[in-house]
Amino acid sequence: MIDKLITFLMNKYLNEFIENVDPKELGASLYSGSLELKNMQLKTTMFNKSPLPFLLQAGQVGRIYFKRPEIGLAFNRYGLKITSPLIIEIEDVFGLVKMKPVADWNE
C-alpha cells in the first residue's frame, strides 16, 4: 500500500526527468525515514525544451537516496519549526548525448 503511494508521488514530481518509477525498485522504510530508488532511466525528452545544443539519447541514475534525519523541532515566535534538513543523495548519473542539428540551435 505505501509503495503505491510513494510510487505515485515520485511519478508526479520526477515525471519530467525520470521514466515511471517501478514499485519493485523502491526500498522504503517509514520508521527509519529513508527512501532509496535504484537504476532509474532518464527521459530522452529531458533537454528538448532547453537552449542547450544537445539531446539526450540515453541516461541512467544509479541511485537516488532520500534521508530524513531525526526530527529536530524548535519553537519560535511563528510556531513550530523543523530544524533537521532532508538529505538527498544522487549517485552514478550517466548520459549519452548527441548534438542537435545546427538549424535547431537557439542563440
Q: What's the whole-number mean pLDDT along residues 59-78? A: 75
**Phi, psi angle pair for 104, to nearest 5°:** -90, -5
pTM over 0.85: no
Question: Does residue 60 carry a pLDDT above 90?
Answer: yes
pLDDT tier at 53, thresholds 50, 70, 90: confident
Q: What's the whole-number mean pLDDT along residues 62-91? A: 74
Could you give the number of structural domains in the chain? 1
Residue-level pLDDT at 67: 80
Residue-level pLDDT at 75: 66
Residues 69/73/77/79 CA torsion (nearest 10 deg): 90
Domain that holds residue 41: 2-104
pLDDT digits (tens, 9 = 90+) for 2-30: 566 667 777 777 788 888 776 666 665 55
